Structure 1
Amino acid sequence: MRQPTVLVVDDEQDIRDVIAVYLRNENIRTIEAEDGIEALKILDKETVDMVVLDVMMPRLDGIMTCMKIRKTSDVQILMLSAKQEDIDKINGLTMGADDYLGKPFNPLELVARVKAQLRRRQQAHKQRNEDVIQIGELVIDIPRHSVTVGDKPVQLTPLEFGILELLAKHRGQVFSSDNIYEAVWRESARISDNTVMVHIRNLREKIEANPREPKYITTVWGVGYKINA
């Protein structure tokens, strides 16, 4: 598993050092910047999972830095400030920050908040990956209800998409015609009905280079259909 990276931005070296020590103890890689301008340069070059960003800094303060980051990135941002007024919290979060912590802070609380934000980011990334399924040149974007093969859009009916989504989400698992019908049509399968077979044939015509020798949706004779794992 890739080690997460946190960019620590604060004009006080002592604070950067303390944060870095605690995060490294949790196996979190840290990069340091002393102001917003330096932080933006680092973000252009480095892959960063989270930014711990002080509000009061010379040259470019934390609020302006946060706004600039949000124009190009959805990286997690935790803002630090010595100002405790609620308006500062509201301003920080309105500008795009994900969390806010007042100074002075307990390093253990900061670590807990950083880890919580990193978990949310990991879960969101995992969810995005699950929402888009790629099998060779076949790409199924579930939220957008779209399919492409080799970057060429493929127009599917809702039932065809439902069959493809079912098989793609359970790669390697064989589904009988009755299983597919009940899952996609959401009703009991009809006896001696070739509806699923017809839809599978139409689906292959659209996504397979050679429908007679399909590489995506394969037939397990006498059992059903599957997409290989």
Structure 2
Amino acid sequence: MQNYGNILLVEDDASLASWISDYLLNQGFQVAHCDHGDQVVAQVKKENPDLILLDVMLPGKDGIEICRELRSFYNKPIIMLTAKTEEFDEVVGLEVGANDYVMKPVRPRALLARIKAFLRNQTEHNQPQQNNLLTFGTLKLEEKAKRLTYRDQEVQLSTREFELMWLLASHAGQVLERDHVFKVIKNREYDGVDRTIDALVSGLRKKFNDDSQKPQKIKTIWGKGYLFVADAWDN
């Protein structure tokens, strides 16, 4: 059977881990399993999986802390598994670099669709880029290096935050519809409920001191979408 990718499943619920592993194996993936938070970082460094399914609540070290540590060296997709529904948890997860959340109980086909979308997107991003530098005043974005500097200082962004900044900056002066932004960043249709993009935009505004009530750099055009203002980054 063809190997569609190597996945590390970090889950301490033995029953859940077993059926997810079996399901993904039957779909053509290779699956490694880890059930303790303290062991994850070492295993990722050793195996370098194509994607990580990371439970939030783990013995030894929780998923949020693990994700933060992983993002210091690991730039591939991380999907978090959680039974929590509080918006605060989602925002924190995005800030430390998670690409997406899957709520428990896990739906097999929905999980598979997200895994395939992220792996496909990862492959596309690894293709050579012709134009990978954008500059607006004192703001500079380097797509290949996933690096952003502002006022000669590097700004630390999560993978998802950089993806959103690049998307908006690539269409400077154009209003990007919310549904389009959601589809590009999340690899699926907007469901009318998920506030991931709102959380990301809010986080970016804070990092660039853009007034949330009257933003000048990244504007929300009510009823339409988002606008990256090209001439707002001069100072």
Q: 1:47: Cα distance to partner?
A: 2.5
Partner of 1:32: 33
Partner of 1:124: 125
TM-score by length of 2: 0.53
Query: What residue ranges of structure 2 are gaps of 5+ in the alignment?
Result: 133-143, 146-235
Q: Is the 8 A contact 1:35 1:61 kept in 2?
A: no
Q: Is the 8 A contact 1:83 1:102 kept in 2?
A: yes
Q: Which runs of 4+ in 1 moved over 6 A?
A: none
Q: How well do the aligned residues superpose, as a CA RMSD in angstroms?
A: 2.4
Partner of 1:71: 72
Aligned CA distance change for structure 1 residues 46 and 103 (closer, same or farther; 3 Å) = same
Aligned CA distance change for structure 1 residues 86 and 34 (closer, same or farther; 3 Å) = same
Partner of 2:91: 90
Report SS of the residue matched to 1:11.
Answer: coil
Q: 1:36: Cα distance to partner?
A: 2.2
Identity %: 33
Higher Cα Rg, which structure = 1
Amino acid at match of 1:94: E
Q: 1:119: Cα distance to partner?
A: 0.7
Report SS of the residue matched to 1:71.
Answer: coil
Q: 1:2: Cα distance to partner?
A: 6.0
Q: Is the 8 A contact 1:70 1:96 kept in 2?
A: yes
Q: Is the 8 A contact 2:51 2:119 kept in 1?
A: yes
Any residues of structure 2 matched to 1:149-168 within 5 Å, and which? Answer: none
Q: 1:82: Cα distance to partner?
A: 0.7
Partner of 1:59: 60
In structure 1, distance between residues paired with 2:44 and 2:20: 19
Report SS of the residue matched to 2:52.
Answer: strand
Partner of 1:12: 13
Q: Is the 8 A contact 1:22 1:111 kept in 2?
A: no
Instruction: State the Cα deviation string for residues 114-173 of structure 1 (Å, max 9, x = none).
Output: 111111111111245x789xxxxxxxxxx79xxxxxxxxxxxxxxxxxxxxxxxxxxxxx
In structure 2, distance between residues paired with 1:105 and 1:111: 10
In structure 2, distance between residues paired with 1:127 and 1:117: 18
Amino acid at match of 2:14: Q
In structure 2, distance between residues paired with 1:38 and 1:127: 34
Q: Is the 8 A contact 2:6 2:49 kept in 1?
A: yes
Q: Is the 8 A contact 2:67 2:96 kept in 1?
A: yes
In structure 2, distance between residues paired with 1:47 and 1:59: 21
Q: 1:52: Cα distance to partner?
A: 0.2
Partner of 1:135: none
Q: 1:3: Cα distance to partner?
A: 3.9
Query: What residue ranges of structure 1 are gaps of 5+ in the alignment?
Result: 133-142, 145-229
Report SS of the residue matched to 1:126.
Answer: coil
Q: 1:12: Cα distance to partner?
A: 0.8
In structure 2, distance between residues paired with 1:36 and 1:112: 26
Higher relative contact order (CA 8 A, sep 6+): 2
Report SS of the residue matched to 1:59.
Answer: coil
Q: Is the 8 A contact 2:52 2:78 kept in 1?
A: yes
Aligned CA distance change for structure 1 residues 59 and 71 (closer, same or farther; 3 Å) = same
Report SS of the residue matched to 2:84.
Answer: coil
Partner of 1:106: 107
